[in-house]
A = this chain, B = another copy of it.
Amino acid sequence: MAKIAILGFGTVGSGVYEVLCRNAAGVSRRAGEPVEVKYILDVRDFSDRPDAHLFVRDIGVILSDPEVRVVVETIGGTRFAYPYVKSCLESGRSVCTSNKEMVATYGAELLALAKAHNCAFLFEASVGGGTPIITPMHQCLSANVISEVQGIVNGTTNFMLTKMVRENMSFDEALKIAQELGYAETKDPGDDVDGRDACRKIAILSSMVCGHHIYPQNIPTRGIRDISVADVEAARKLGCVIKLIAWMKHRPDGSVAAGVEPCLVPKSNQLAGVDDVFNAVMVRGDMLGDVVFYGKGAGKLPTASAVVADVVDALKHGVKIHDSLFWKPAEPVDGMLTDPTPAAYYVRVAGVAPAVIEAIYGYGRLVAERYDGCSYFVERADEKALAAAAKKVEAMGGAVKLVLRRLPEEG
């Protein structure tokens, strides 16, 4: 009998408990022994529940019980989660978490701590919710050098963009529905719509690919607030949909680029058909080519089932997992991890006549003219050229309102 503890009885934490109860037979068969929740840490009052005896408010109770072998952390944030997880690992207990903020910020340190104390630190549920991404990446692609990761990793914004594309909704209308359905925070939806959630996830995947810690603050991040109905319509004219793409590139010389930005995705690209709250991540290996992992990116039971799979792994394999998942500590770099590679771009410009746009941006085509400006498709530009063009636009009294990179046709 393996005893575990759950820290935080919110959506995912209570889901972990539910999954362990409902699929107890399968879980214990695969773990090699029954798995039992001995403690649930939560400061709220659950004394009415039939299992009230499981609830504790002091992490010390869990840390001082040698029977507890694996700890599930589903508190979220870093204020409590980080010191609690540290203490658990230092006491030799494996930790399984869905907490992307903590992994993106302290992943290297916590992995090293786990290694030093002969236990596992696992976080499959931190990217893609229940969809397997992290385990296949470090385990099934272990014979590959990964050069690129590109995906849709935030279900809330993907739901909103799907509404905007399919029903011609504005950003504000789509946000309102996402909030009503509980997909977006009511108070401050910024983590989703400004791309911070996606940024943490691509920071985690980038760290795995590079083998050293990549920090969210070095990843240029833009959300979807500036996307208008007109942009969605212009994208359609160009045979594309607009998606919030999180990406990273790892070049043979070891250099890294990463970003979170709304992009034009050609309809022929696998990511174009990923709609609603679904997530999809494309990983490019040097031996394997492209693989895509697709599934629901959030939700109580899907996410919880990924946490429980990690619990099974921790019980079975323990520290041996680390050889492939491990990444080294590193300091944040100066500046941003931008990509100098030229690409095709869509730009929306105000206050400048369409006639001069080609002269400013180079070869391309006008997509739409509006009373206050125009949108233009640039066949080929890089970030430097785009910055120079923006300066020219400003010098003419205009303003660049939106820049969207176009992804390749396939991929």
A276's nearest neighbour on chain B, judged by CB, is: B410
Within 8 A of B (CB), among A301-337: 301-302, 304-306, 308-309, 312-313, 316-317, 320, 323-324
Within 8 A of B (CB), among A259-293: 270, 273, 285-293
A275's nearest neighbour on chain B, judged by CB, is: B268
Q: Are B302 and A288 closer than 8 Å at their CB atoms?
A: yes
Count of residues in A whose CB is under 8 Å from the partner chain = 53
Within 8 A of B (CB), among A123-146: 124, 130-132, 135-136, 138-145
A145 and B136 CA atoms in complex are apart in Å by 20
Q: What residues of chain B lie closer than 8 Å to A136, measured between beta carbons?
A: 132, 135-136, 140, 293
Q: Are A23 and B294 closer than 8 Å at their CB atoms?
A: no
Q: Are B323 and A29 closer than 8 Å at their CB atoms?
A: yes
Q: Are B294 and A324 closer than 8 Å at their CB atoms?
A: no
Q: Are A141 and B145 closer than 8 Å at their CB atoms?
A: no
- Copies in the assembly, this chain: 2
A313's nearest neighbour on chain B, judged by CB, is: B139
**Known contacts being A140-B309, A309-B142, is A292 close to B295, with CB within 8 Å?**
yes
Contact of A142 among B27, B138, B292, B294 (CB under 8 A): B27
A296 at the interface (CB under 8 A from B): yes
Contact of A270 among B140, B273, B299 (CB under 8 A): B273
A32 at the interface (CB under 8 A from B): yes
A30 at the interface (CB under 8 A from B): yes
A68 at the interface (CB under 8 A from B): no
Q: Are A309 and B141 closer than 8 Å at their CB atoms?
A: yes
Q: What residues of chain B lie closer than 8 Å to A286, measured between beta carbons?
A: 22-23
Q: What residues of chain B lie closer than 8 Å to A292, measured between beta carbons?
A: 292-295
**Known contacts being A135-B135, A135-B139, A145-B23, is A305 close to B288, with CB within 8 Å?**
yes
A234 at the interface (CB under 8 A from B): no
**Known contacts being A140-B309, A142-B308, A308-B142, is A132 close to B19, with CB within 8 Å?**
no
A299's nearest neighbour on chain B, judged by CB, is: B289
A304's nearest neighbour on chain B, judged by CB, is: B287
A232 at the interface (CB under 8 A from B): no
Q: What residues of chain B lie closer than 8 Å to A88, measured between beta carbons?
A: none
Q: Are A305 and B273 closer than 8 Å at their CB atoms?
A: no
Contact of A143 among B19, B296, B320 (CB under 8 A): B19
Q: What residues of chain B lie closer than 8 Å to A143, measured between beta carbons?
A: 19-20, 23, 26-27, 304-306, 308-309, 312
Q: Are B145 and A309 closer than 8 Å at their CB atoms?
A: no
A31 at the interface (CB under 8 A from B): yes
Q: Are A302 and B273 closer than 8 Å at their CB atoms?
A: no
A181 to chain B, nearest CB (A): 16
A29 and B143 CA atoms in complex are apart in Å by 10
A304 and B309 CA atoms in complex are apart in Å by 27
Q: Residues on A close to B: CB < 8 A?
A: 19-20, 22-23, 26-27, 29-32, 124, 130-132, 135-136, 138-145, 270, 273, 285-296, 299, 301-302, 304-306, 308-309, 312-313, 316-317, 320, 323-324
Query: Which 3 A-B residue pairings sit nearest by Cβ, starting from the closest?
Result: A132-B140, A291-B295, A143-B308
Beyond contacts A144-B305, A288-B301: 14 other A-B pairs, Cβ-Cβ < 8 A, are: A31-B142, A130-B287, A132-B139, A135-B135, A139-B139, A140-B306, A142-B308, A142-B312, A270-B273, A288-B306, A290-B295, A291-B294, A292-B293, A317-B320
10 examples of A-B residue contacts, CB within 8 angstroms = A23-B145, A131-B288, A131-B291, A132-B136, A135-B140, A143-B306, A288-B295, A288-B302, A292-B293, A316-B323
